[in-house]
Amino acid sequence: MQVVKFKANGAPVTLYLHEDHDRLAAHKTRPALIICAGGCYRWLSPREKDPAALAFAAMGYQTLLLEYSTGERASALRPLHELAETVRIVRERAKEWHIEPQHVGVLGFSAGGHLAASLGVLWHELGLGEACRPDALVLSYPVITTGEFAHRESAELVTGGDPALRAMLSLENHVTAHMPPTFVWHCTGDESVPVENTLLLTTAMQRMGVPYECHLFSGGAHGISVCTQEVETPNAACAAWLGLCRTWLNDRFQFTP
């Protein structure tokens, strides 16, 4: 596997690339999955970076890690434009990187889930263009709302305290039929980002006819990533999300690894 590094609007991106081989004709092109770790828009959680990227790389995907802007640089939609540019670059360089350009997904955890969902929900409203629209979203215990059930720190950092941005980034209020198909999972015992975030989103997607699959796991907690000992959150029940997601993505992308 080759590691390729580049930047998208100044944000570092790492690509884990399955190389092409003449004798492996089955996968001349593969789907791509861009991963956005969580961390309240304050930092990027290491348990949601390489472990997730390598898990989906092992499933046959070309995987990318986006180090989007955090802290004071997280406001003014900067992370959203970094993610949009990453999607665009992946499509632009799809032939070089053995990627199917119409099979580009985004996976986000927690605040990274808010970032992924922001692009999926707002790309049309913001006029970003089809080249920046993900073909699928995977949202893991995502931050969605800036309202009653908001994760306060995430909402404050990503909006910079701007009331207009706060309204725009309460994503449940902006879902349209332009949103990509979405896989979402959450734990009912999440005390950091309440499960109501996912419920608000799925209610809006259901109303707008957006294809989605949702899994709620009883108990559980926040930030459990791939649910292994490696990331210090072993949870055999919640780890089922990986297999469920693989099945959903493979079906969505018509990919048989």
Cβ atoms 226, 242 nearer than 8 A: yes
Going by pLDDT thresholds of 50, 70 and 90, the confidence category of residue 155 is: very high
154: nearest Cα among 197, 111, 113: 111
pLDDT at residue 27 above 90? no
Going by pLDDT thresholds of 50, 70 and 90, the confidence category of residue 11 is: very high
Helix, strand, or coil (residue 190) = coil
pLDDT at residue 22 above 80? no
Which residues, listed in sequence order, are joined to residue 8 by a DSSP beta bridge? 11
pLDDT at residue 142 above 60? yes
Q: What is the C-alpha radius of gyration for the chain, rounded to an integer number of angstroms? A: 17
Which residues, listed in sequence order, are joined to residue 7 by a DSSP beta bridge? 12
36: nearest Cα among 126, 93, 120: 120
Give the pLDDT confidence score for residue 208 in this predicted structure. 98
pLDDT tens digits, one per residue of 104-131: 999 999 999 999 999 999 999 999 999 9
- Helices 111-122 + 152-159 axis angle, to 10: 50
pLDDT tens digits, one per residue of 51-94: 999 999 999 999 999 999 999 999 999 999 999 999 999 999 99
How far apart CA 162 and CA 53 sit, in angstroms, is: 33
pLDDT at residue 144 above 60? yes
